[in-house]
Amino acid sequence: MTVSRITALETIDIRFPTSTTLDGSDAMNPDPDYSAAYVIVKTDAADGIDGHAFVFTIGRGNDVQVSAIEALAGHLVGRELEPLLATMGATWRDLVGDSQLRWLGPEKGVMHMAIGAVVNALWDIKAKRAGLPLWQLLSTMSPEEIVELVDFRYLTNALAPEEALEILRAAEPGRAERAHELLANGYPGYTTSPGWLGYSDAKLEALVRQALADGFTQIKLKVGADLDDDIRRFRKARAVVGPDFPIAVDANQRWEVDEAIAWVSALSEFGPTWVEEPTSPDDILGHAAIARAIAPIRVATGEHAQNRVVFKQLLQADAISIMQIDAVRVGGVNENVANLLLAAKFGIPVCPHAGGVGLCEAVQHMSMFDFVAVSGTRDGRLIEYVDHLHEHFVVPTEIRGGSFVAPTAPGTGMEMKADSRRAYTFEGELHHVA
């Protein structure tokens, strides 16, 4: 086997001036500048393949996230690449297990997301070397190999490795058929594009109409800043789509527990299909109390769930009916494999969080892998779609008839175009590129 080495972790602070148009505005985040703390894992391999990944942030602090990624250089630069790629579970445990860096979490926040970025960049190399998109690479691994990716530490009272193996083995016979189906028909999506709080009512209605015309089967509205505004906006959206069309609402952590229950009750006449992030993402018992009080309206959360242990508890406490994994919040592909297995064990659908910068490009691979090799179903599952910034990616998300087209290009989908990386590199001020 030819041996190659990691030669550098190149980082870039990339920021888009999205606050000028209020794209992405919600009850907690009124003026985000969508950003990426970007990493390129460079190697001396003859194939010239680098690994690309990022952490999504919304502006200030992106430099802090970049620094956290750089703190991992000592772990990786100079290391032989092939052994790291051959045992990605061990590689994950090695990075997460650094006892001094671990103190900064443990397994949460800026340092954990930095590890996730580096892990995802290694997966990008592994998938490109295999000539496969990530979803397909994962779907060609045996149940035993997939289980090896997961750190079961702190999970075994909810999911033991043997149970994970059973789930994966049960899905094994239909893999080829489902991959074929996926390539033919894609994976359903829903759109949040109409719902940003900073948009006028006229823009809201126009974008809801557009969502229908584009073939989406669900939309999502941001709520939580002002109840009268929420009622007015929900009524307008409902009038456009009719009585039965699913409309989710997202409070982005705005409420106290009792406030969430009262607010959702006030919106219940419009039939929200789920209520997302009603309160603090750390408040598992609070989510459970809300879920009990507003049933049958469902509670969804996860885009700020910092690791698999939080997801485990949300599931154990019957606090969520929808699990919303995020490609870059937790420790990368490996930890999301754990999250998918937890969801399968508890029979809860995964509807990933996306939007931002490159989150659709990245997370679709996890849902597609889930369909082919884990849960084996797309029923009740949708990937979030937001129509922003896709043009900056080498393999941009493609939507057809409201569904994500399964990517066939090798890699994780996280590689941003070199021109875009250059144009939006942050050097103390935002670049407004026409």
Write out the residues near Mg ion by the rule CB under 5 A. Answer: 250, 276
- Cβ of residue 398: shortest distance to Mg ion, in angstroms? 23
| Spatial distance between the Cα atoms of 324 and 275, rounded to a whole number of angstroms | 12
Neighbouring residues of 176: CB distance < 8 A, sequence distance ≥ 6: none
- Cβ of residue 322: shortest distance to Mg ion, in angstroms? 11
Q: 10 Å Cβ neighbour count for 433?
A: 11
DSSP one-letter code for 188: E
Considering beta carbons, is residue 182 or 267 the nearer one to Mg ion?
A: 267
Q: Which residue, judged by CB position, is nearest to Mg ion in the bound state?
A: 250
- Nearest to residue 403, comparing CAs of 377, 389, 382? 382
- Cβ of residue 401: shortest distance to Mg ion, in angstroms? 24
Q: 10 Å Cβ neighbour count for 165?
A: 16
Q: Are 244 and 212 in contact (CB under 8 A)?
A: no
∠ CA 255-261-267 to the nearest 5 degrees?
95
Q: 10 Å Cβ neighbour count for 107?
A: 22
Structure-token match 């990339």, residue found: 14
Q: Are 207 and 179 in contact (CB under 8 A)?
A: no
Backbone angles phi and psi of 113, in degrees to 5: -65, -35
Contacts 24+ apart (CB under 8 A), 60-66: 62/13, 62/14, 62/15, 62/35, 62/36, 62/37, 62/426, 63/13, 63/37, 63/426, 64/110, 65/37, 65/110, 65/113, 65/114, 66/11, 66/12, 66/13, 66/37, 66/38
- Cβ of residue 158: shortest distance to Mg ion, in angstroms? 25
Check 353, 365, 388, 392 and give the catalytic one. 353
Per DSSP, what are the bridge partners of residue 166? Answer: none
- Cβ of residue 59: shortest distance to Mg ion, in angstroms? 17
Considering beta carbons, is residue 7 or 29 the nearer one to Mg ion?
A: 29
| Spatial distance between the Cα atoms of 201 and 195, rounded to a whole number of angstroms | 10
For the question of residue 222 being annotated catalytic, the response is: yes
- Nearest to residue 38, comparing CAs of 59, 12, 56, 64? 12
Check 52, 108, 220, 222 and give the catalytic one. 222
- Cβ of residue 129: shortest distance to Mg ion, in angstroms? 34
Span between the terminal Cα atoms of the chain, in Å: 47
| Spatial distance between the Cα atoms of 315 and 346, rounded to a whole number of angstroms | 7
In this structure, which amino acid lies at residue 233? R
For the question of residue 236 being annotated catalytic, the response is: no
Considering beta carbons, is residue 146 or 320 the nearer one to Mg ion?
A: 320
- Cβ of residue 152: shortest distance to Mg ion, in angstroms? 28
- Cβ of residue 353: shortest distance to Mg ion, in angstroms? 6
Q: Where are the alpha helices (DSSP H) in 172-255?
A: 175-185, 201-213, 227-241
Considering beta carbons, is residue 11 or 252 the nearer one to Mg ion?
A: 252
Considering beta carbons, is residue 124 or 276 the nearer one to Mg ion?
A: 276
| Positions marked catalytic | 222, 353
